[in-house]
């Protein structure tokens, strides 16, 4: 297995040497068997959090160009048109007829509601950013707890095997079960 670590300030060779020395010490002490070492080395190492999973500048990116996700609304937006040259002519007619239009409907509540929605959208951008950070933190915590659970399970299995070995050593040959015919 070959891989490259690109981080500065990390001496990979020293870390690998220390890991190998620790494994050898545990083998000599009888704490690890070859099968257990093979089992541990067969597990793939998965990155805890991939860089593309979390953008640290998410909020800055959202607030940088709010026109991409937020509606820009001013008092004249109700009267605008997006139809090119015909739309500009339509805007001029609407501007001229604005006093008459106000007799039939009141644009102020619509303008106020849409302006408020713009503010709500900005607040949502902040909430989304905070939720992304919190979910990432919780993901890291879950991965850590799973790893701790696996470590504790391994330690428990090891202690159970050790207990059985020590019991058999303490009882020695006298604990061998006798057969019905009287022979051991």
Pair 63, 125: CB distance under 8 Å: yes
Q: Is the pLDDT of residue 149 over 90?
A: yes
Q: Which of 73, 75, 77, 71 is nearest to 124 (CA)?
A: 71
- Residue 49, phi then psi, degrees to nearest 5: -145, 120
Pair 115, 25: CB distance under 8 Å: no
Q: How far apart are CA 39 and CA 132, in angstroms?
A: 35
The DSSP-derived string for 123-180 is HHHHHHHHHHHHHHHHHHHHHHHHHHHHHHHHHHHHHHHHHHHHHHHHHGGGGSPPPT
Q: Is the pLDDT of residue 135 over 60?
A: yes
Between 71 and 118, the more confident residue is 118
Per-domain boundaries in the chain: 45-169
Q: What's the whole-model pTM score?
A: 0.44
Between 96 and 172, the more confident residue is 96
């Amino acid at each position: 297995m070959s891989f490259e670590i690109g981080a500065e300030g990390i001496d990979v060779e020293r870390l690998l040497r220390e890991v190998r020395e620790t494994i050898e010490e545990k083998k000599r002490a009888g704490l690890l068997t070859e099968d257990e070492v093979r089992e541990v080395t067969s597990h793939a190492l998965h990155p805890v959090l991939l860089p593309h999973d979390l953008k640290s500048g998410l909020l800055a990116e959202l607030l940088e160009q709010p026109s991409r996700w937020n509606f820009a609304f001013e008092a004249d937006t109700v009267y605008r048109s997006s139809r090119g040259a015909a739309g500009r002519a339509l805007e001029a007619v609407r501007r001229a007829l604005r006093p008459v239009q106000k007799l039939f409907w009141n644009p102020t509540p619509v303008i106020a509601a849409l302006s408020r929605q713009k503010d709500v959208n900005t607040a949502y951008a902040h909430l989304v950013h905070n939720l992304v950070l919190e979910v990432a933190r919780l993901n890291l915590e879950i991965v850590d707890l799973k790893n701790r659970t696996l470590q504790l399970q391994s330690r428990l299995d090891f202690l159970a095997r050790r207990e059985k070995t020590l019991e058999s050593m303490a009882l020695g040959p006298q604990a061998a079960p006798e057969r019905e015919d009287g022979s051991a």
